Structures are given as C-alpha cells and as structure tokens.
Structure 1
Amino acid sequence: MSTKLGIALAQCNPLVGDVEGNARMILEQIRLAHERTGAQLVVFPELALTGYPPEDLLLRSALLNQVEAALQLIADQSAGWHTVIGAPYRDEAGLRNGAILIGQGRILARYAKQRLPNYSVFDEKRYFVEGDESCVVSVEGVRIGLTVCEDIWFPEPARAARDAGAELLVNINASPFHSCKYGERIKTLQARIAETGLPMVYVNQVGGQDELLFDGQSLAFDGAGELLLRAPAFETGVFSVPFSGEAELAPLAGIEADAYRALVLGVHDYARKNGFPGVVVGLSGGVDSALTLAIAVDALGAEDVLAVMMPSRYTAPMSLEDARLQCAHLGVKSLEFPIEGPFQAFLQLLDPLLAGRPADATEENLQARCRGVILMAISNKTGRMVLTTGNKSEMAVGYATLYGDMAGGFAPLKDVPKTLVYRLARWRNRDRVVIPERVLTRPPSAELAPDQKDSDSLPPYEVLDPILEYFVERDWSVGEIVAEGYDRAIVERVVGLVLQNEYKRRQAPPGVRISPRAFGKDRRYPITSGYGRVLS
C-alpha cells in the first residue's frame, strides 16, 4: 500500500444519545487531527455519533433524524478532509450499523456491518439488519475497505474487501474491555492480515457506558502483521498511524493496573455522565469499602467523595480507627452515625416477632438496612450517588443484604472477586499507603454478629473464587469442577448458593464489567427455575 495517505485514529468517549454533543466532539477531533498530524483521513469508532450501545434509543425515529442532520453538519464543516464515522442509518432493507465515509463536503459511502453479534452483552440483531456487500472506496488514491467491529472476527468480510480491490482495511469498533480482551484482539487481527496480506487500522471507543467499559488501545498493522501503533488504554486522543517511521506503542500494563484503571474510569463516567455532583461511600474498615473509597477518590477527586462510618455494637475499634485513618490518607471528608439507636428501635418494634426466637440473619440484616437508610438519606439530601461496596464473590453467593449494603446507584466491585479485591488494594498501595495495612491482613468480617468472620459462612475465598469462575464464567458442571480437585460438597453448596440468589442480583445496581462474563446483562439466568434441584 502507498504510504502517502496520512491516517489518524480518533479514540473518543461519546455520550450515548447525545448526537449533537457527539457531533461537536467529532468535529473538534477532526480539527485536532488535521492540525497536529496533517492526516487526510480521520477514523472514529463504531456508532460514535450515537454512542455505543444506544439500545432502544434506536427505536426512536427522532434519534435517526438527528443522526442524518449531524452527518450533514460534519460533512459541511469538514469539507477539506475525509472522515470515517460509525453511525446508524436506514436503507430499503432496514436499520444498519454503519461506517460512513465523509469527504468533499458530502457523504461518499455507507457500509453496512455484515456480522451482527448476538451473544454476551451484545444484542445487535434486535435492532439492525446485516449487510451483505463490501464497500471499497478511494481516499487520496488509496483504496480502503470499510469494516465494522465484529466483521473482523470472521474471515469473509475482510477477504471480500480484498477481492473488491482494497489496499487497506479500516475497522471501527466499540469493543468492551475485559481482562483477556487485548490478546484476543491481536490474535484475531493478525489472522485477518495473514489471510488477506493487507495492512489494517483498528480504532476503538473509550469510556464507561452503564455496565460496559471501553478501553481504547486502538491499533495499526502493516501488511505483514507487524504492529505499528498501539494507542494508550483508557485515554482519549487522536493518534497518527506511522506507516513510515518507527512504531509507536503505548506500554501494556499488568492485570491489576488495567483492572484498577477500568474501575476508576467506569466510576468517573457513570457519575459524571449521569450528572451526579459526587458520591457517598459507607466505610466499614474492611477491604471492600476501603478499595471502593480509593477508586472513588481517584475517579472524582477527594472533594466529591463523602465517607460515612456507621459503627454498630459489633464494630471492632480497629475498624473505626482504620476507616478514619484512610479518610486522612485520602483527604476525604467523613461523617459518623452510630446505628445502635435505630437498631434498637427496630428490635423494639419487632419484639412481638423476635421474642423467644434465637438471633439469626434477621438481626444481622436489620443492621445493614439501618445503614442503607442512612446512606440513601444522605444521597437524597445532597444529590450524591451511593456507591455500594459488595464484590463479585459476595454477589455470586448472596452474601449481601437487599435494601442494606446492596442499596445504592453503582457497584464498582460488582465484577471483582474477593481475591482480586486484595490484589487491587495492594496495587493501589504500591507507591503510597492509602489503605491501612491492617485492613489487608485481618480476617474479613461483616461485623454483624459477635466475633463474626466471612469464613463462618463461606469457604475460604482462595477456594470459593476459582469455583465461581468455573461455574459463572465458564459454565462448567459440578462434576467438571470436582475433577479439578475441589470437594464435591463444597462445590455443590457454592453452586446452589449461586443459583438460589439470582433474585438478589436482579435487584443489585449496575457495576463495571472487567471479566469475560459479569453478572447483569452479560449473564442472564432465570430467577424461577428448577435447575438447581439437580446438580451434575
């Protein structure tokens, strides 16, 4: 391919549904690309004009009218450059997920995505009609084959573009992050290059959208599959493709660094895009709330984070000490509301029911619900959103209280197993201690009963988390998990807890997806089911 074509990849963070705002952002990035790189072609992510995924907003004709008006506006105001933009459009067959080429003050071509994903978090066939034709267009004498996201995971669209005369593949994406995704992308893209012999540019979206998190890491390859460009993860920007000259590769981070940055960006975008002035975190002195507080501060700044300590008769003095110390480390304002008063009031109110019966989860959950009421009252009065602090291990087995510690607007750790919680907390402490060391070394406890420990109710997290990964993320059977060396009774108990607590998870707030399979729209199990009665 001729290297005379200058290409810039616009790694942007659109707001779903804000077509006018996204169009302004696109125009600004086109201008930046031209000024900073001299690029003749600027490439934007999949559905950048609407944001991804727009879901049922696509059913509104007003949105599609806004898209067409915005495309014409971009064409009018970027007449000197060529641009590829992801946007929906209608033709005689129906609604398309498109790559739109704009240049010379007009729309030059529209390409319809050929492979619509309908698995995991994707349900594009609900909205779009698949295309069946390649689109190869000439930009400054270079013939470009347009493809959209999933197209590149199959050999046929890329081969068809090559056979139609393409000299370069352009692939636009809204590819969500999870811990294994980067390696999967590299392997897939290089396979398409090996099959076609064509160089490729791949641009990906950045930012949080409800449960989904997009990491960017846009890429460019030459025709031999050598990596020329890797844009930074979790950062917006315009990046020039070095078809001639040295490769420009942003560094890769480790699992903990990537996961932590994903959680920070997810919290930031959920709070800011939804207009919350700040967040509230119930700080217990345990590791989950400690990590949640650190993430919140890194996402929003200490001034927009409020910590609330709500000790009970079972709260150890060290828990309160560690919570106060962490607030001092992070510069976070805090409030303290002991819950003995409201707890006693509930016990007295319910005495006709409780009298003569042994204490159980009822009394424990009352304490958690006292705290939930306090946090939501603060949220109502201040407008700040409550961040819940439960992790994936707890959500999996139901070790959480509805309308108590599950009450809130967003759950940063919803897809973070407990063992990873500890790893992330230690990673955050790598340069400066913000989470007191004692929080990381003492046995975890909900502190809702005398001398309570998580291990009283659950297997050790080092045992629990692998079992959950096998069953939740890989869909293994009990027998397959037992074959890995786990005790059958423990596996059956864990699987039973996962299945019977689906009703709780349906009522949990959204949280950042960082694993290949998260609870929420990614994993959809029925609440009412007889499956758990027969384990194999």
Structure 2
Amino acid sequence: MTRAHGRTLSLALAQVNPTVGDIDGNLQRLREARAAAPAGCDLVITGELGLAGYPPEDLVLKRAFQGRVETAVQSLATETADGGPAILIGAPWRSDSALHNAALLLDGGHIADVRLKYDLPNYGVFDEKRVFRPGPLPEPIDFRGARLGVMVCEDMWTPAVAGHLGQRGAELLVVLNGSPFEVDKTEVREDLAAKRCAETGLPLIYVNLVGGQDELVFDGASFALTPEGTVSVRAPAWQAGVTPSRWQRRPQGLQCAAGDVAANVNGLESIYQAMTVGLRDYVGKNRFPGVIIGLSGGIDSALSAAVAVDALGCERVHCVMMPSPYTSSESLEDAAEVARLLGVHLDSVNIEPAMHAFSGMLDGLFEGRAADTTEENIQARSRGLVLMAISNKLGYMVLTTGNKSEMSVGYATLYGDMCGGFSVLKDIYKTTVFALSRWRNQSCPDGGLGPRGRVMPERVISKPPTAELKHNQTDQDSLPPYDELDGILAGLVEDESSIEDIVARGYDEPTVRRVWRMLDRAEYKRRQAPPGVKITRRAFGRDRRYPITNGFTSQI
C-alpha cells in the first residue's frame, strides 16, 4: 500500500510494555514498535502514556520528569522525517499551563497533532484527577485522506466523546488505552467498544498496553471492530508486538480487511497469565535476581512456586522448607516433591532452635500465662526471619504466599508469613487457588518457563489446609469452610452487599456477621501487606479503601 493513496490505509496496532519513569527505555520500545511495522505502514498506534508508563502517579508532577518526556517526544518526532510511518503515542503533555494525559501524532519530522483526554477516571485503581486536567472535546485529525477520531481510554467508556467525534466527521475511532486486567475485562472492553460503533456507525481501533506495573498488569488484546461490532483484527493477549490492519475506503466508509484474530484468553488461564506476567515484570523491572519462597508442603506455596517458575525459570527460584515440631511427614514429602517437579533448589532450615530461643527470652515476661497464638506466631515470625536473612544475603526477593481469603479475615501473621516483597496470590480467593492448581497440573501457560506436566502432587490439592502451628490443626478450626467463606467474602468485598442481602442468599447470619467483623478488624494487617497482582474488581489497597480506625463495625 502506498501512503499517499487516498483509498487505502495501513495501520499497525503496537502493544508496548513500558516501565513507569524509564523514559529512555520506553522511547526505545516505541522506536522498536515503529521499526517492526510492516512495509508501507501509514501509522503505528500505541497505548496510553506509553512514553511515561502507566500509571505515573505523582511522578508525573515533577517538572524534570515532564521536561524529559518533552525532549523524548521531540526526538521521536524528528525521526519520523525518515519516510517511515507516522506514530501515535501517549504521553503527559503541558498545554495552556495545565498538565494533560495526551495522544500525540508524530509525522513528517514534527508533532503533527495533539489530542487531550477529556474524561479522567477517578474510581477503582484510577486517580487521574489528582495529577491531570481534562481537555476539551476532541476534534477529528485529518491524516492521509482519512479523518481519525482519537480518544484516550476512558473517553471510550461513555458515549459523549465518540458521539462528538462522529458528529464532527470522524471516519474511524482510534483509542489509546492503559486498561488493566481483571477477570472478564476483555469481554467488557469489546462490548463497550461495540456500543460506540453502533452509536456512531463507525469502525474502531483499540490499542492497549501490555505487561506489569506494580499491582496492575495490562493484558494487551488490542482489536479493530467493524461498525457492526465484529472483530476484524485482534492482537494476542499478554504479548508485546505489532499487529497490522489494512483499511480501504468503500462507499459506506473505511472498511478493515479481515486480518489476524487471536483467540481471547479467558477464565483460569487468563488469571494464571496475569499472575505470571505481573510477577515476571515486577521482578525484572525492579532488577531482582530471583525470588525466595517458603515452601511448606501446602497448596498456597506450591502454586506460588509454580507461578514463579513459569515467570522466571527454575534457576531463579530458591525454595526453603522450614520445619518445626508440628510439621508432618506428609508436608516434608510434599514440599520435596513440588521442588522436584518444578526443578527448583530446596533448602531446609529447622526453626525449632529459634522457637526455644524466643521462649527462653520471654519466659520471665510470660510466667503464669498459658500458651496461645503468641507461641504460634513466634513460629511464623521465625520463618519470616529466616527468609528475610536469606534475602539480605543473596539479594533475592521474598515472595509471599498468602491468599485473598486469608488476607480478608486476617488469618495471617504480621512480620511472619506476611513478610516479603510481592504476592501473586494476594487477590486470589482460596477456592480459586484450588481451581488454578488443578488447571496448572493439566495445562501450561503460553510463554511459561516451567514444566509441561504436573507441578504438584494431588495430595497437596486434596488435603485439608493447615498452618501446622500446633498439632492436628486445620484452617477450619478458625474459619468457616472455604467455599462458604469465599461466597460471603465475594458479597462483602466484591459486591459491597449488605449483611441482609448475603443472608438472603442462604448464608448463616451469625457466620456472615462474624466474617464481616473479621474483615473489618484485619484492615491494619492489609495496610502492611506487600503489593500483589490485581485480579478481581475489588483488590485490596487500590480498589477497596477502608479506614483502619472504624467505629461502624461495633454497631453491627
């Protein structure tokens, strides 16, 4: 296709994996995306704030940061004088003394056009009104014989911007996105995009970021839709790369030729991919050589280890078994078998001497008081001490293994099993931990570096969960059965349902009230938990924000 020809247009959807603040690195990734475009490409379309990384949070307010971004934009714009394709990028941009979330068209050696984000999201994980100012309703951009209606992410989620662009003569809606993963998000995006197409009668291109940034992970899955909402092109999920789309002018408007349509990744596979990509990028972008995991013989640590091996490779995963007098022979055997199946190094450090040492140190203070959870927590904290010592010595990051069910109700020990730098299960309920473990034993994620077969013995999945901090202990000594607990938590956390509504679903009222009180009391623990990959609609920390000091629960 010839770029000067008014009847054809070649547009490339470029999924880029940026790092917040790495302006030079992100600039190079944009250059590589432009270079990877097919011959004759007119325009390379990239994601939201791809030059700065998303979300930049308060970093974007630094004038030095803004200056570096502007220099990088000018540099890339100059490079477009080489006769190659134009490129549409996302970057923070100052206009009329205000800072905006912007889309910039770079073409012919200069900044050809700028469009400012109109709708700034301020809910859930988004806090854009804190750092950006909204722009005016955007006008279409005239580009090589076509009128492009350029929007930035949230602009597509309501009808106003697309409707305005349609009324002003846009022929193709183009959306730059930084849309984080959560369960079933792919379908939500495509359904919303199809609504904008139906309302305007226009085709649409949607380009998303890919990769992990702290708790958020971006799944790519960019696409092009016909005016009828049919997917004509879809880029692979979870992969950086460039996907071409070819457009022709017909009497009814611009039409996208049928192209590559990658399959959507859904369900357990998408959750597992999110955890894997999130961990891989957190470790890699923060330059950790690898991770350390306390491998207990239980399902949480086994699944965490499997994700770590799939993300990093077995040579970058160091596991440690830390038995106590309460550790069963089954747990020792299961931990060893998990390590063998995954091909990871497994050390053993007995914590009994530490238990005795702490007991001796505290005997005088505790004289006359019966043993209770204090002594149990000393075991968990002894294990945390061992893991952090190894981390200090080797430079590896401790990977925490607690799940969302435990974090919801505070069934975890501060400075014990909660210590660490990152948690892949932080937003995964226990019932989903079981389902993911079964899935991984039968499947292997695309791009995974782990073994193709089983990653844990069936006994790890089927045996009753236990912290093994005393003899004959199981989680259900302290908690409702997990299928019941997770159902209640889904109502309280994900849906913000009332106690009455949850009881109406068939749950026991005293149990629901007990879980609500546990959920409320554990807020102080969650504030001290390490970051972890956002999976659900209401992840702790970024999505669900409650006060620690809270007198309302006492009234329930």
TM-score, with structure 1 as normaliser: 0.98
| Contact 2:198/2:228 (8 A) holds in 1 | yes
- Secondary structure of 2:442's match? coil
Farther-moved stretch of structure 1 (232-241 vs 346-355): 346-355
CA contact (8 A) 1:82 1:139 kept: no
Q: Which runs of 5+ in 2 are unaligned?
A: 1-5, 248-255, 444-452
Q: Match of 2:45?
A: 43
Q: Which residue of 1 aligns with 2:412?
A: 400
Cα distance per residue 1:84-134 (max 9 Å; x no partner): 100011111511100101101100111110000000010100011111231
Distance in 2 of aligned mates of 1:288 and 1:327: 14
Give the residue type in structure 2 aligned to 1:72: Q
Which residue of the partner structure matches residue 83 of structure 1? 87
Which residue is equivalent to 2:31? 27
Q: Give yes or no for the alignment of 1:496 onto 2:517.
A: yes
CA contact (8 A) 1:27 1:78 kept: no
Matches within 5 A, 1:59-138: 59-79=61-81, 80=83, 81-92=85-96, 94-138=98-142
**Alignment of structure 1 residues 252-263 onto 2, 5 Å:** 252-263=264-275
- Any idea what SS the aligned residue of 1:248 has? coil
2:173, 2:297 → 1: CA distance? 52
For residue 378 of structure 1, the aligned residue among 387, 390, 401 is 390
Question: Residue 519 of structure 1 corresponds to which residue in structure 2?
Answer: 540
AA in 2 matched with 1:63: F
Deviations 1:415-434 (A, max 9, x none): 00000001111111005111
CA contact (8 A) 2:234 2:261 kept: yes
Give CA deviations for 1:488-532 in whole Å, capped at 9, x if unaligned.
Answer: 000000010000110000000000001011011211110011111
* Partners of 1:269 and 1:443 in 2: CA distance: 33
Instruction: Tell me how far apart the structure 2 counterparts of residues 523 and 254 of structure 1 sit (CA, whole Å).
Output: 24
> In structure 2, what is the Cα distance between the partners aligned to 1:319 and 1:355?
33
Among 261, 269, 283, the residue aligned to 2:295: 283
Name the CA distance, whole Å, in 2 between partners of 1:219 and 1:358: 63
| Cα deviation, residue 242, structure 1 | 4.3
Within the alignment, does 1:209 sit opposite 2:221 as a pair?
no
Structure 2 counterpart of 1:348: 360
Write the deviation string for residues 187-210 of structure 1: whole angstroms up to 9, x where unpaired.
110110001011110000001111
Q: Distance in 1 between matches of 2:367 and 2:408?
A: 32
Name the SS for the 2:9 alignment partner. coil
Counterpart Cα distance in 1 of 2:171 and 2:425:
44
Q: Take 2:288 and 2:473, find their aligned partners in 1: how far apart are those partners?
A: 36
Contact 2:116 2:135 in 1 (8 A): yes
Question: Does the CA-based 8 Å contact 2:246-2:257 persist in structure 1?
Answer: yes
Matched position secondary structure for 2:138: coil
RMSD, aligned CA = 1.2
Provide the secondary structure at the position in 1 that maps to 2:472. coil
Match 1:422 to one of 424, 434, 445: 434
Q: TM-score, normalised by structure 2?
A: 0.94
1:233 shift after superposition: 1.1
Which amino acid in the other structure matches residue 182 of structure 1?
T
Aligned to 2:481: 460
Q: 1:6 to 1:23 in 2, by over 3 A?
A: same
Secondary structure of residue in 2 paired with 1:344: helix
Taking the aligned partners of 2:278 and 2:181, their CA distance within structure 1 comes to 11
Equivalent position amino acid for 2:283 in 1: A
Match of 1:52 among 54, 76, 79: 54
Q: What is the letter of the counterpart of residue 9 of structure 2?
A: L
Is the contact made by 1:291 and 1:421 (CA closer than 8 Å) also made in structure 2? Answer: yes
1:335 Cα offset (Å): 0.8
Distance 1:37 1:261, change over 3 A: farther
Between stretches 500-509 and 67-76, larger displacement belongs to 67-76
Larger mean CA deviation between 426-435 and 404-413 belongs to 426-435
Contact 2:233 2:258 in 1 (8 A): no
Pairs within 5 Å for 1:177-196: 177-196=181-200
| Residue identity matched to 2:412 | A
Distance 1:284 1:456 in 2: 19
Q: Is the 8 A contact 1:86 1:98 kept in 2?
A: yes
Instruction: Report if the CA contact (8 A) 1:284-1:310 is conserved.
Output: yes
In 1, the alpha carbon distance for the partners of 2:104 and 2:368 equals 71
Q: Does 1:299 align with 2:320?
A: no
Which whole-Å CA distance do the structure 2 matches of 1:14 and 1:86 have between them? 11
Higher mean C-alpha displacement, 479-488 vs 216-225: 216-225
AA paired with 2:269? A
Name whichever of 386-395 and 515-524 sits farther off.
515-524
In structure 2, what is the Cα distance between the partners aligned to 1:392 and 1:257?
19
Return the alpha-carbon distance in structure 2 between the equivalents of residues 381 and 297 of structure 1. 21
What amino acid sits opposite 1:88 in the alignment? P
The superposition leaves residues 434-467 of structure 1 with CA deviations (integer Å, 9 ceiling, x where unpaired) of 1111101110000001100000000000000011
- What code does the residue aligned with 2:226 have? D
Query: Alpha-carbon deviation of 1:37?
Result: 5.0
Identity of aligned residues (%): 52
How far does residue 78 in structure 1 lie from its aligned partner after superposition?
2.1
Contact between 1:8 and 1:37, CA under 8 Å: does it hold in 2?
no
What is the CA–CA distance in structure 2 between the aligned matches of 1:219 and 1:152, rounded to whole Å? 14
Partners of 1:314 and 1:370 in 2: CA distance = 14
SS of the counterpart of 1:5? strand
Contact 2:93 / 2:102 at 8 angstroms: preserved in 1? yes
For 1:120 and 1:219, how far apart are their aligned partners in 2? 24
One of 474, 494, 500 as aligned partner of 2:495: 474
Find the aligned partners of 2:243 and 2:497 in 1 and give their Cα distance: 42
Pick the aligned partner of 2:234 from 230, 234, 258: 230
How far apart, in 2, do the equivalents of 1:496 and 1:423 lie? Answer: 27
The answer to whether the aligner puts 1:436 opposite 2:438 as a matched pair is no
Native 8 Å contact 2:9 2:246 kept in 1:
no
Q: Secondary structure at the match of 1:50?
A: coil
What is the CA–CA distance in structure 1 between the aligned matches of 2:313 and 2:366, rounded to whole Å?
44
Letter in 1 for 2:116: A
Cα distance, 1:354 vs. partner? 2.9
Say if 1:145 and 1:168, in contact at 8 Å, map to a contact too.
yes
Question: Which runs of at least 4 in structure 1 moved beyond 6 Å after TM superposition?
Answer: none
Distance 2:515 2:111 in 1: 56
Task: Give the distance between the partners of 2:213 and 2:137, measured in 1 at CA.
Answer: 31
Q: Across the two proteins, how many residue pairs are aligned to each other?
A: 533
Kindly provide the CA deviation profile for residues 325-380 of structure 1, in whole angstroms up to 9, marking residues without a partner as x: 11111110111001000001111111123333222110110000000000000000
Of the three residues 224, 228, 240, the one matched with 2:244 is: 240
Residue 19 of structure 1: how far off its partner (Å): 0.8
Amino acid at match of 1:311: P
Q: What CA distance in whole angstroms lies between the structure 2 residues aligned with 1:301 and 1:85? A: 33
Instruction: Show the counterpart of 1:152.
Output: 156
| 2:12–2:245 contact (8 Å) kept in structure 1 | yes
Secondary structure of 1:240's aligned partner: strand
